[in-house]
Amino acid sequence: MRRIQDTGAAQIQAASNMSFYRAGPEMLEALLTHKFVLTLATIVTILLLRWLLAAAIARSNWAKADKRRRISTVHNYSNLLLVIGLIAIWITELREFALSIAAFSVAIVLALREFVQCFVGGVFQRSMRAFNVGDWIKIGDKFGEVIDSDWLSTTLLEIDPHGLGNGYTGATLFIPNSAFFTQPVKNLNFMRRYIEHSFALVRESNGVNPMAAKEYISTRIREHCEPFREVAERYCKLIEHRMGVELSGPDAEVRITTNELGHNVLTVTVFCPREEAHEIEQKVTEDFFNFWHQQFEATSRGGANTSASGA
């Protein structure tokens, strides 16, 4: 009986030892797979090694400059090892986090693309100083006076694009700043007071000499522009100097051409005050049609007299 008990006890002890030996590697494996524990162990090990090496260097017989240099080298390499160790431990989580951040960033960019473009356009406009509040500008085919400008949009009070002398239309334009990257921006602030106003007059020939009409209209335009000629000349030179362009003013330009129907086209370009552009156009138009009517009547009477004399 005693022998049986001893044998049983020995078997229990052996089983216990075997379970302990099996539990040891399992526990070690569990500890190694637990990343927080592994992180803590890595930090403690590297810091301990750094402290031991720094203490050994401090107790050495090297010069103080050499000690400081070697201790600094130990600190730098230990920090590098610490960073590499932590990245190696958390590489899977870091990869997933980076992918999630990238996806989130793409979603944010797609959602706020227009906002970002407008903001960057506002920064671009302010860095280039293309215009200020109160300037006359033309963005693409939109023309108006700047009444407000912020980081996202520019507000214009629209001006009639079919002739700068015709004033405001009453419409308000809200232009996103992203348009500065896709459309040309023209600053026409120097044209606020004086402008180059062009218009065309078309008539059938009817036997009237168009060259005589050109000479007569040129004379009438000089008479209409005489009150502001000196001011227009100074302002024209100012604009040419600032903008680096040549204008037709202050003398008006009159051209004779023909259209596809064979009619005479008299094109007038006059440098005049913006407020008087429409009035000058009406006066020149009246002068032209009166002259043409008189010449046509004179030609008709001359033809009738010739016919009567021949009869």
Give pLDDT tens digits for 211-251: 888 888 888 888 888 888 888 878 777 777 766 666 666 67
Residue 306 has pLDDT above 70, yes or no: no
Coil, strand, or helix at residue 69? Answer: helix
pTM over 0.85: no
Q: Report residue 48's pLDDT band, with 50, 70 and 90 as the boundaries.
A: very high
pLDDT digits (tens, 9 = 90+) for 84-126: 888 888 888 777 777 777 777 777 777 777 787 888 888 887 7
> Given this model, what pLDDT does residue 20 score?
44
For residue 232, what are the contacts with CB-CB under 8 A and spacing of at least 6? 194, 225, 249, 250, 271, 272, 273
pLDDT at 309 over 60: no
Pairing of strands 264-273, 194-203: antiparallel
What is the length of the chain?
311
**In whole angstroms, what is the distance from residue 125 CA to residue 170 CA?**
25
Residues of the chain with pLDDT > 70: what percent? 80
Percent of the chain with pLDDT over 90: 2
Q: Is residue 60's pLDDT more than 70? A: yes
CA distance 95 to 116: 28
Mean pLDDT of 47-65: 86
Q: Which of 299, 270, 285, 298 is nearest to 203 (CA)?
A: 285
Residue 291 scores a pLDDT above 50: yes
- C-alpha torsion angle, residues 221, 224, 227, 228 (rounded to 10): -50
User: Looking at residues 5-26, what average pLDDT do you find?
Assistant: 52
Is the per-residue pLDDT at 6 higher than 80? no
Q: What pLDDT sits at residue 16?
A: 52
